[in-house]
């Protein structure tokens, strides 16, 4: 069974959860989301 984990981050309009727990394993998402809730283009390299 999987469930979203509350992270304290503001909710995103993107179709994702920042953390999910499934079968005892914690999965996290590291998505470059801007303050206006859009995804930063070009990958994660700064």
Tens digits of per-residue pLDDT, 1-30? Answer: 889 999 887 777 778 888 999 999 999 988
Instruction: Please give the Cα distance from 38 to 16 (Å, whole number).
Output: 13
Q: Tell me what pLDDT residue 43 has.
A: 66
* Overall size of the chain counted in residues: 46
pLDDT value of position 3:
93
41 or 26: which leads in pLDDT = 26
């Amino acid at each position: 069974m999987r469930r979203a984990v509350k992270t304290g981050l503001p909710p995103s309009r993107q179709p994702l959860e920042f953390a999910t727990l499934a079968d005892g394993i914690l999965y996290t998402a590291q998505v470059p989301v801007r303050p206006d809730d859009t995804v930063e283009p070009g990958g994660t390299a700064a």
